[in-house]
Amino acid sequence: MKYLRIKKQGDFQRLFQKGKRAFSPSLTMLYRPSDKMRMAISIGKKHGKSVRRNRIKRLLREAFRLTADQMKGTYSVILVPKVAETYTFETYQKHLQCMIKKEKL
Protein backbone atom coordinates (compact mmCIF):
# COMPACT_ATOMS: atom_id res chain seq x y z
CA MET A 1 0.00 0.00 0.00
CA LYS A 2 1.26 3.47 -0.80
CA TYR A 3 1.68 5.89 2.06
CA LEU A 4 3.05 9.38 2.52
CA ARG A 5 5.82 10.37 4.89
CA ILE A 6 5.23 12.71 7.81
CA LYS A 7 7.90 15.41 7.62
CA LYS A 8 6.64 18.56 9.35
CA GLN A 9 7.49 19.23 12.99
CA GLY A 10 3.89 20.32 13.70
CA ASP A 11 2.54 16.98 12.49
CA PHE A 12 4.96 15.13 14.76
CA GLN A 13 4.01 17.27 17.77
CA ARG A 14 0.28 16.84 17.12
CA LEU A 15 0.63 13.05 17.01
CA PHE A 16 2.82 12.90 20.11
CA GLN A 17 0.39 15.09 22.06
CA LYS A 18 -3.04 13.97 20.82
CA GLY A 19 -2.42 10.57 19.21
CA LYS A 20 -3.45 7.26 20.70
CA ARG A 21 -0.73 4.77 21.62
CA ALA A 22 -0.36 1.06 21.09
CA PHE A 23 2.44 -0.97 22.63
CA SER A 24 4.29 -4.17 21.79
CA PRO A 25 7.55 -5.67 23.05
CA SER A 26 9.58 -4.08 20.24
CA LEU A 27 7.53 -1.02 19.20
CA THR A 28 5.35 1.84 20.30
CA MET A 29 2.86 3.07 17.71
CA LEU A 30 1.21 6.48 17.88
CA TYR A 31 -1.75 6.88 15.55
CA ARG A 32 -4.56 9.24 14.71
CA PRO A 33 -7.24 9.16 11.97
CA SER A 34 -6.23 11.12 8.90
CA ASP A 35 -7.41 11.85 5.37
CA LYS A 36 -4.42 9.97 3.87
CA MET A 37 -2.22 7.12 5.06
CA ARG A 38 0.96 8.68 6.45
CA MET A 39 3.86 7.22 8.40
CA ALA A 40 7.05 8.33 10.13
CA ILE A 41 9.69 6.74 12.32
CA SER A 42 11.13 8.37 15.41
CA ILE A 43 14.40 6.80 16.52
CA GLY A 44 16.90 8.15 19.03
CA LYS A 45 20.66 7.91 19.24
CA LYS A 46 20.43 5.35 22.05
CA HIS A 47 19.88 2.71 19.34
CA GLY A 48 23.43 3.07 18.10
CA LYS A 49 25.30 4.76 15.31
CA SER A 50 23.71 5.94 12.07
CA VAL A 51 24.25 2.68 10.18
CA ARG A 52 22.26 0.73 12.77
CA ARG A 53 19.52 3.38 13.04
CA ASN A 54 19.12 3.48 9.25
CA ARG A 55 18.80 -0.32 9.13
CA ILE A 56 16.07 -0.20 11.76
CA LYS A 57 14.25 2.46 9.73
CA ARG A 58 14.46 0.35 6.56
CA LEU A 59 13.09 -2.70 8.38
CA LEU A 60 10.22 -0.69 9.88
CA ARG A 61 9.29 0.96 6.57
CA GLU A 62 9.06 -2.40 4.82
CA ALA A 63 7.12 -4.02 7.68
CA PHE A 64 4.66 -1.09 7.66
CA ARG A 65 4.29 -1.22 3.86
CA LEU A 66 3.32 -4.89 4.01
CA THR A 67 0.94 -4.60 6.98
CA ALA A 68 -0.73 -1.25 6.18
CA ASP A 69 -3.23 -3.06 3.93
CA GLN A 70 -4.76 -4.64 7.05
CA MET A 71 -5.81 -1.23 8.41
CA LYS A 72 -9.47 -0.47 7.77
CA GLY A 73 -9.13 3.31 7.61
CA THR A 74 -6.44 5.86 6.90
CA TYR A 75 -4.22 6.99 9.73
CA SER A 76 -1.19 9.09 10.51
CA VAL A 77 1.24 6.76 12.27
CA ILE A 78 4.54 7.24 14.07
CA LEU A 79 6.56 4.13 14.88
CA VAL A 80 8.99 4.31 17.81
CA PRO A 81 11.24 1.24 18.16
CA LYS A 82 12.41 0.07 21.56
CA VAL A 83 16.07 -0.66 22.26
CA ALA A 84 16.95 -4.33 21.76
CA GLU A 85 20.00 -6.50 21.10
CA THR A 86 18.81 -7.63 17.68
CA TYR A 87 16.32 -6.15 15.25
CA THR A 88 14.57 -8.43 12.77
CA PHE A 89 12.05 -7.80 10.05
CA GLU A 90 9.89 -10.73 11.16
CA THR A 91 9.61 -9.38 14.70
CA TYR A 92 8.57 -5.92 13.55
CA GLN A 93 6.03 -7.29 11.07
CA LYS A 94 4.51 -9.67 13.64
CA HIS A 95 4.23 -6.95 16.30
CA LEU A 96 2.70 -4.46 13.84
CA GLN A 97 0.07 -7.03 12.84
CA CYS A 98 -0.73 -7.73 16.49
CA MET A 99 -1.11 -4.02 17.28
CA ILE A 100 -3.40 -3.47 14.28
CA LYS A 101 -5.63 -6.36 15.35
CA LYS A 102 -5.59 -5.36 19.02
CA GLU A 103 -6.47 -1.71 18.33
CA LYS A 104 -8.98 -2.68 15.60
CA LEU A 105 -7.48 -0.25 13.10
Collect all residues with Cβ–Cβ distance below 8 Å to 32 and sequence separation of at least 6. Answer: 14, 15, 18, 19, 20, 75, 76
Would you say 33 and 70 are in contact if contact means Cβ atoms under 8 Å apart?
no
**pLDDT in the model for residue 3:** 87
Per-residue pLDDT of the chain (105 residues), as tens digits, is 788 999 999 999 999 999 999 999 999 999 999 999 999 999 999 999 999 999 999 999 999 999 999 999 899 999 999 999 889 999 999 999 999 999 888
Res 20: pLDDT: 95
Question: How do strand 4-5 and strand 20-23 relate by DSSP bridges?
Answer: unpaired
pTM of the model: 0.91
| Overall fold of domain 4-103 | Ribosomal Protein S5; domain 2 (3.30.230)
DSSP-derived pairing of the beta strands 4-5 and 38-41: parallel
What is the C-alpha separation between 50 and 6, in angstroms, rounded? 20
46-73: burial string, b at 16+ Cβ within 10 Å, e else: ebeeeeebeebbebbbebbeebbeebee
State the Cα–Cα distance between residues 78 and 31, nearest whole angstrom: 6
Residue 88's pLDDT is 93
- In the chain, what are the domain boundaries? 4-103
